[in-house]
C-alpha cells in the first residue's frame, strides 16, 4: 500500500488497508405439514420473530432480500470541533438481480481537520465529491466527470485488483450496494428482546465488536477496527417492520474512535455515526444503467496506470472512483483535466539501526525535494499550494536474526497537485 508525504506540513501519512471481512449468515427454516393425510410435508420459512432471538437479525436479512428490491440511503457523519463531514449514498437496489445504482456525495466543511479529510479522500472546503456507481454482481461501474464510465471487475488480474482498494466492496455481500450497515446487521446477534411498536415493528438495541462493525466504514478506515483489541464496542439500533424486514439501522462508532486515533486515523474527529434506511420494499424500480448507452465504457485495468509507473513530466487524473487513492490514475494531457503532475521517481535503500518506521517516507521526501528544486519549471509551476510537492510509494523492511540493523527499501513517485 502506498503512502503520501506532504512536504509543506512534514507529516507522513500511511493509507490504511485491510482484507474485508467475509462472513456468511444462515437463515433458519422449519417444515410445515399440509395437504391430505400422508402427504409429504412442504418446507416453509419460519417467520423472523419466531426464530431464536440471536438468529432474528440474520433471518431479517433473508426476509429483506425476499422483498426483491428497495430504495436505500446510507449516511456517515464525522463530527469535529469545526464542523461535520457528511458522506451520503442514495439509490436503488435489486436483490434478485444483484444490481444497484447509487449516487454518493461527500461534503467536508472548510475548517474540518485536514488530516481527517485526507483519510476520507477529500480536502476541507473543497466542492463536494459527487460520484455515481452502477453495480452488477462483482462488477462496479464508475461514472467519470466527463460522462464516460470506468468498469472495475473482480475478474481483473490479481496485481491490479490489489490496487483497486475498496471499490469492489461497493458490490456488497448482503445487499447489492455494499459498505453499509446492512453488512453489520446480517452478522449481529441480538441479546435482548426487541421493543414492539403499535404497527408491529420491532426495535433492537445491542452492541457489536469493532470487527463486526468495520464493514460499514470506508475501506481505508477499517484496518484499526479489524485488528482492535480491548473492550470497546459499537452501539447498534435496528428497526424491522411487522414482516421482519429491515427498515433502518444506526450505529455509534464514537467509543472506538480512540482505537482509530491511536493508529493516526480520523484524528480530530470527535464522534462518528452511521445510518442506513430502506423504503419501497418490493415496489422500487432500479434505473437502467447509462453505461453502454451512448457513453463510453472502459476497462479500468486497461485505462488506469499505477502512479509509480507514470513518467516524469506526465500528468494524471484522480477521477477514478477510488476514494482519493493514488494507487491508480488516468494519464491525461496536462491542463484542465489533470489533478497532478509527476516530476520524478526516486528509490530508497537504507540500513537502519532501531525502528525503521517512517525512514523510507522521510528519505523519499528529501530526495523528491532535491528533484523538485531541479525540475523543469513547467513541471512544477502549477503546484497547489504554490511551492509544495508530495511523494507516493511503498517500502518494505527486513531484519536479520541477529544484530540491530534493518534493511529498508522502496520506490516512490514525486509529484505536485495541480488542482
Question: Which of 59-91 are b and which e, b meaning 16 or more Cβ less than 10 Å from the residue's Cβ?
Answer: bbbbbbbbbebbbbbbbbbbbbeebbbbbbbbb
Q: Indicate whether 17 pLDDT > 70.
A: no
Specify the DSSP class assigned to residue 288.
P
Would you say residue 40 has pLDDT above 50?
no
Distance, first Cα to last Cα, the chain:
24
Among all chains, which residue has been given the C-alpha cell 494519464?
A: 331
C-alpha cell at 330: 488516468
- Examine the pLDDT at 36 and tell me if it is beyond 80: no
Q: Residue 390 pLDDT > 90, yes or no?
A: yes
Position 402 scores a pLDDT of 55
**pLDDT for the residue numbered 355:** 76
C-alpha cell at 75: 449516511
What is the predicted pLDDT for the residue at 14? 37
Give the mean pLDDT of the chain: 87
pLDDT at 32: 37
Question: What integer pLDDT is reported at residue 43 of this predicted model?
Answer: 44
Section 154-179 average pLDDT? 93
User: How does pLDDT run across 125-153, given as a tens digit for each residue?
Assistant: 999 999 999 999 989 999 998 889 999 99
Query: Which runs of E-coded beta strand occur in 284-389?
Result: 297-299, 305-306, 315-317, 328-332, 340-353
pLDDT of residue 404: 66
Q: What mean pLDDT comes out for the span 174-196?
A: 97
* Three-state DSSP state, 63: helix
Cα separation of 180 and 249, whole Å? 10
Amino acid at each position: 500500500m502506498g503512502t503520501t508525504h506532504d512536504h509543506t506540513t512534514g507529516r507522513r501519512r500511511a493509507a490504511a488497508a485491510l482484507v474485508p471481512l467475509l462472513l456468511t449468515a444462515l437463515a433458519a427454516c422449519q417444515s410445515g405439514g399440509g395437504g391430505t393425510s400422508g402427504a409429504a410435508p412442504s418446507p416453509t420459512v419460519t417467520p423472523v420473530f419466531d426464530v431464536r432471538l440471536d438468529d432474528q437479525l440474520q433471518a431479517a436479512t433473508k426476509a429483506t432480500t425476499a422483498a426483491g428490491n428497495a430504495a436505500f440511503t446510507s449516511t456517515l457523519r464525522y463530527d469535529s470541533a469545526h464542523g461535520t463531514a457528511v458522506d451520503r449514498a442514495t439509490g436503488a437496489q435489486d436483490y434478485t438481480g444483484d444490481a444497484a445504482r447509487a449516487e454518493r456525495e461527500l461534503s467536508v466543511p472548510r475548517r474540518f481537520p485536514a488530516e481527517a479529510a485526507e483519510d476520507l479522500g477529500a480536502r476541507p472546503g473543497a466542492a463536494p465529491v459527487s460520484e455515481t456507481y452502477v453495480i452488477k454482481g462483482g462488477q462496479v461501474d464508475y461514472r467519470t466527470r466527463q460522462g464516460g464510465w470506468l468498469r472495475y471487475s473482480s475478474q481483473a488480474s490479481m496485481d491490479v485488483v490489489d490496487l483497486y482498494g475498496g471499490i469492489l466492496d461497493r458490490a456488497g455481500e448482503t445487499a447489492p450496494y455494499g459498505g453499509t450497515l446492512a453488512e453489520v446487521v446480517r452478522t449481529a446477534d441480538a441479546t435482548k428482546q426487541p421493543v414492539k411498536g403499535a404497527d408491529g415493528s420491532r426495535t433492537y438495541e445491542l452492541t457489536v465488536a469493532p470487527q463486526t462493525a468495520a464493514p460499514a466504514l470506508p475501506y481505508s478506515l477499517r484496518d484499526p477496527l479489524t485488528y482492535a483489541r480491548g473492550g470497546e464496542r459499537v452501539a447498534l439500533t435496528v428497526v424491522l417492520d411487522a414482516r421482519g424486514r429491515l427498515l433502518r439501522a444506526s450505529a455509534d462508532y464514537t467509543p472506538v474512535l480512540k482505537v482509530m486515533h491511536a493508529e493516526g486515523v480520523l484524528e480530530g474527529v470527535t464522534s462518528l455515526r452511521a445510518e442506513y434506511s430502506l423504503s419501497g420494499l418490493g415496489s422500487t424500480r432500479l434505473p437502467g444503467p447509462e453505461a453502454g448507452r451512448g457513453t463510453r465504457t472502459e476497462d479500468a485495468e486497461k485505462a488506469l496506470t499505477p502512479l509509480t509507473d507514470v513518467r516524469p513530466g506526465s500528468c494524471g487524473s484522480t477521477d477514478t472512483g477510488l476514494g482519493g487513492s493514488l494507487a491508480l490514475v488516468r494519464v491525461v494531457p496536462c491542463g484542465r483535466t489533470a489533478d497532478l503532475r509527476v516530476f520524478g521517481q526516486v528509490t530508497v535503500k537504507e540500513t537502519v539501526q532501531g525502528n525503521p518506521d517512517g525512514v523510507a517516507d522521510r528519505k523519499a521526501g528529501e530526495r523528491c525535494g532535491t528533484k523538485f528544486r531541479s525540475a523543469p519549471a513547467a513541471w512544477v509551476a502549477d503546484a497547489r499550494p504554490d511551492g509544495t510537492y508530495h511523494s507516493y510509494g511503498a517500502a518494505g523492511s527486513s531484519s536479520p536474526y541477529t544484530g540491530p540493523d534493518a534493511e529498508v527499501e522502496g520506490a516512490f513517485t514525486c509529484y505536485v497537485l495541480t488542482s
